[in-house]
């Protein structure tokens, strides 16, 4: 079966790809394994220089890459250009800092010499999603490769054109042959790659069920794995919050990637004293959003990625309505061509609704009111997910205290819990394990080796 790249705004086919067989995919993995030793021995200075080159390639081809994202998964032009800008920053960030982070760490002992060294593991298989087709890959590949690993990318089959563009970018930047390769193949080939002797570690960003299956597979083969499995991030608004700011940021964080972002706030928990005012401001900000062609610079919300995402989101909203939620705006599909969904605000939301218990991937803002601070914290933590959380209050000491007890990999005060490459990013509970970004990402695919000379 051919793999089809389809424009979610028009439903037209962009391009068709013949998937690689398991044998062809394994041959590529073998080539990447063969390139590992030379890449490892190239040295940190050369590796960081090539990473800077990659940033320059992204900068020079940003318009092209932004358009690819627009026609393959519906990223709006402004957000697509911002994504490429983040790729440039990532490349420069790891190029600037990795040499210092990877320095041997002396351990004072009675021995002649003793220290901790950081060495690469080998080949990292990056199993990546469609929702951030460029940054998801670079946030994995840049730290893994600067340590000295080589990378095989198995991208989502929804974005094969972006996947091939990434391989071309590494090649254009001057990376040695087979240090970064893309394979376009069917899902059932991936387990064979993980089990093979050519793969040494795995990074997966996906939904929980797929991540769980990959974790079992990696564990059975004793291979390191990093999992980012999404979230249902709470956005807690206390009675002393700046409501204008909180409402503005609530909408901004929710519509990132048309609401198809793991790190976006998804459950809006508001104390009852300010719930009406907050809801009114959110509704006002939401009604003015421009939905349309993702290639049009004026568009703020594009289409969802495919019909499956559209149907799942619509089912979650209908479940909320059936259980008593009030639709303040939106509430259904927009038009009959393309996978557009109306920006939606729901009030009178209850804890048992799917918009509160499941990860919601789309421009839907469910607002639930609670009695007070304690109830807000209990509800915020009462989820199987633990990726990010935010609390909104003018009392910064109180905000920090609450942030410390939020059960999440990131907690913010008066800021959405969206990722920032300067901080470690990842989750607990069903949101995954391991960290991306910052110096900590370098350690995920490093052999942290003790060297003792007696």
Residue 228 falls in the annotated catalytic set: yes
CATH of the domain at 306: 3.40.309.10
Could you give the 3-state DSSP secondary structure of residue 411?
Answer: strand
- Whether 321 is in a domain gets the answer yes
Taking residue 24's Cβ as centre, other Cβ atoms within 10 Å add up to 14
Backbone φ and ψ of 333, nearest 5°: -65, 150
Domains of the chain: total: 2
Same domain, 273 and 402: yes
- Whether 149 is in a domain gets the answer yes
Say what the pLDDT of residue 221 is.
Answer: 97
- Whether 133 is in a domain gets the answer yes
Same domain, 239 and 224: no
Give tens-digit pLDDT for 99-145.
999 999 999 999 999 999 999 999 999 999 999 999 999 999 999 99
Tokens, residue 334: 């927009």
Taking residue 106's Cβ as centre, other Cβ atoms within 10 Å add up to 10
Same domain, 407 and 434: no
Say what the pLDDT of residue 97 is.
Answer: 98
pLDDT averaged over consecutive 10-residue blocks of the chain (454 residues)? 96 97 98 98 97 98 98 97 98 98 97 98 98 97 98 98 98 98 97 98 95 97 96 96 98 94 95 98 96 96 96 98 98 95 98 96 97 97 96 98 97 95 96 96 97 98
Same domain, 105 and 184: yes
Same domain, 338 and 201: no
- Whether 419 is in a domain gets the answer no
- Whether 422 is in a domain gets the answer no
Same domain, 283 and 397: yes
- Whether 258 is in a domain gets the answer yes
Residue 262 falls in the annotated catalytic set: yes
Annotated catalytic residue within 72, 262, 359, 444: 262
Give tens-digit pLDDT for 388-446.
999 999 999 999 999 999 999 999 999 999 999 999 999 999 999 999 999 999 999 99
Q: Which residue has the tokens 């609530």?
A: 250
- Whether 291 is in a domain gets the answer yes
Same domain, 212 and 258: no
Say what the pLDDT of residue 1 is.
Answer: 84
CA dist list (Å): 261 to 74, 122, 177, 233, 304: 13, 30, 33, 11, 11
- Whether 418 is in a domain gets the answer no
CATH of the domain at 86: 3.40.605.10
Say what the pLDDT of residue 254 is.
Answer: 94
Same domain, 45 and 23: yes
Same domain, 88 and 125: yes
Same domain, 330 and 221: no
Same domain, 381 and 435: no
Range of the domain at 283: 233-413
Say what the pLDDT of residue 117 is.
Answer: 98
Cα–Cα distance measured from residue 281 to residue 292, given in angstroms and rounded to the nearest whole number: 23
Same domain, 136 and 81: yes
Say what the pLDDT of residue 79 is.
Answer: 96
Tokens, residue 406: 């939020």
DSSP structure string for 111-156: SSEEEEEEEE-SEEEEE--SSSTTHHHHHHHHHHHHHT-EEEEE--
Say what the pLDDT of residue 349 is.
Answer: 98
Cα–Cα distance measured from residue 375 to residue 347, given in angstroms and rounded to the nearest whole number: 18
Cα–Cα distance measured from residue 4 to residue 287, given in angstroms and rounded to the nearest whole number: 34
């Amino acid at each position: 079966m051919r793999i089809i790249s389809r424009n979610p705004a028009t439903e037209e086919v962009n391009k068709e790809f013949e998937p690689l067989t398991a044998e062809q995919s394994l041959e590529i993995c073998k080539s990447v394994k063969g390139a590992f030793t030379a890449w490892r021995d190239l040295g940190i200075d050369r590796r960081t220089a090539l990473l800077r080159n990659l940033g320059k390639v992204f900068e020079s081809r940003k318009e092209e890459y932004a358009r690819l994202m627009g026609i393959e998964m519906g990223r709006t032009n402004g957000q697509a250009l911002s994504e490429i800008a983040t790729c440039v920053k990532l490349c420069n960030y790891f190029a600037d800092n990795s040499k210092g982070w990877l320095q041997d760490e002396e351990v004072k002992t009675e021995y002649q010499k003793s220290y901790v060294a950081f060495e690469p593991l080998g080949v990292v298989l990056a199993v990546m999603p469609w929702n951030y087709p460029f940054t998801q890959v670079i946030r994995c590949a840049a730290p893994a490769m600067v340590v000295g690993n080589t990378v095989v990318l198995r991208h989502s089959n929804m974005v094969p054109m972006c996947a091939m563009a990434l391989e071309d970018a590494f090649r254009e930047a001057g990376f040695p042959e087979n240090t970064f390769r893309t394979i376009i193949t069917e899902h059932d080939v991936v387990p064979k790659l993980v089990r093979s002797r050519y793969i040494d570690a795995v990074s997966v960003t996906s939904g929980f069920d797929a991540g769980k299956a990959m974790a079992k597979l990696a564990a059975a083969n004793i291979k390191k794995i990093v999992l980012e499995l999404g979230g249902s991030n709470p956005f807690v608004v206390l009675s002393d919050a700046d409501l204008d700011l909180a409402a503005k940021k609530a909408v901004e964080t929710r519509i990132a990637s048309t609401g198809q972002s793991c790190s976006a706030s998804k459950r809006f928990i508001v104390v009852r004293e300010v719930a009406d005012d907050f809801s009114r401001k959110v509704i006002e900000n939401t009604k003015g959003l421009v939905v349309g062609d993702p290639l049009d610079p004026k568009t703020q919300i594009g289409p969802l990625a495919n019909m499956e995402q559209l149907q799942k989101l619509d089912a979650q909203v209908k479940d909320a309505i059936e259980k008593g939620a009030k639709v303040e705006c939106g509430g259904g599909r927009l038009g009959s061509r393309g996978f557009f969904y109306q920006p939606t605000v729901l009030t009178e939301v209850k804890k048992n609704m799917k918009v509160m218990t499941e990860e919601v991937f789309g421009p839907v803002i469910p607002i639930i009111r609670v009695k007070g601070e304690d109830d807000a914290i209990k509800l915020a933590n009462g989820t199987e997910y633990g990726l990010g959380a935010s609390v909104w209050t003018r009392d910064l000491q109180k905000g920090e205290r609450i942030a410390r007890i939020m059960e999440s990999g990131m907690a913010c005060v008066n800021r959405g819990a969206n990722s920032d490459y300067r901080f470690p990013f990842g989750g607990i509970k069903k949101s995954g394990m391991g960290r991306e970004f910052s110096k900590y990402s370098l350690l995920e695919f490093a052999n942290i080796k003790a060297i003792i000379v007696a």
